[in-house]
Amino acid sequence: MTANLLDGKKIASEIRENVARRAEELKARGVVPGLAVILVGEDPASKVYVGQKEKACREAGFKSDLLRLPESTTQEELLSVIGRLNADPSVHGILVQLPLPSRIDPEAVIAAIDPAKDVDGFHPVNVGHLVSGVPGMVPCTPLGIVRMLESYRIPLAGKHAVIVGRSSIVGKPLAHLLLARDCTVTVCHSRTQDLAYFTRQADVLVAAAGRPKLITADMVKPGAVVVDVGINRLESGLAGDVDFEAVREVAGWITPVPGGVGPLTIAMLLENTLAAATRSLQ
């Protein structure tokens, strides 16, 4: 048995086409969705990500503002820029590209963003909404994972989902999204003893630990859905957190790297920005 592929690129393309169509409808009502992205410093990976987001915005018909700030930018200066964007009615979404220089407190920066414009879904208000089951901005990667599973009509209610990784960007918010869809959820992490004991119980296994090829074939329940969030740059190229070639012979469904979860993250960023722009009319 070879696993079916969960094609994130295909689902993301469909979402982006839908977003572009809805953005045109908004423009007819006098609103152009606007996303401001702040990049501090010269981190090479961040530059690539920001470029991808800027391109996606243009293709969706959004107004995209990229604010490049020097490495020497102080926290006060960055907070001042965020304050200006909070007050700008033409900006519906604000994204500060992480990581930031070590002297800047990322939590203070995230907390300074207007929760209604927090398209990353990291603001404490939006985190509280997610935990409480109240509608709000949801982090893009976990939201994309759920949208992909639902697009492929993979049943979630009553299933055991095991998430490897407890970050605030993926693991924790994904746990709440899956709980809301009636999954039984186990979250594993670096201190989990006998990781394979838990992963072999998973109907849906999500690897988001940032360790290349951590999940091997003997750790996967036959027929399981395996979602690989990892993007690890090795000398041989990109690798996920899952040993793809081996695990695809055991799993029922699996995401490739690249082309799995990554494209959905940007698609969800566009959806969140569009939602914020739509709410600005209310």
**List 10, 27, 47, 53, catalytic entry:** 53
- Which spans in the chain are helix H? 8-27, 44-59, 75-86, 106-112, 124-132, 140-151, 171-180, 195-199, 244-247, 262-279
Alpha-carbon gap, residue 277 to 74, rounded angstroms: 30
**List 9, 10, 52, 120, catalytic entry:** 120
Residue type, 235: E
Please give the backbone phi and psi of residue 198, each rounded to the nearest 5 degrees, phi first. Answer: -80, -45
The structure tokens 């969705």 sit at 33
Query: In degrees, to the nearest 5, what angle opens at C-alpha 133 toward C-alphas 128 and 136?
Result: 65
Using DSSP, state whether 52 is helix, strand or coil: helix
**Biggest distance spanned by C-alpha atoms of the chain:** 56
Active site residue 53: yes
Residue type, 122: F
Alpha-carbon gap, residue 123 to 186, rounded angstroms: 24
Active site residue 213: no
- What is the token pair recorded at 6? 């969960």
The structure tokens 């998973």 sit at 202
Q: At what angle do helices 140-151 and 262-279 cross, to 10 degrees?
A: 100
Alpha-carbon gap, residue 237 to 243, rounded angstroms: 14
Active site residue 120: yes
Residues catalogued as catalytic: 53, 97, 120
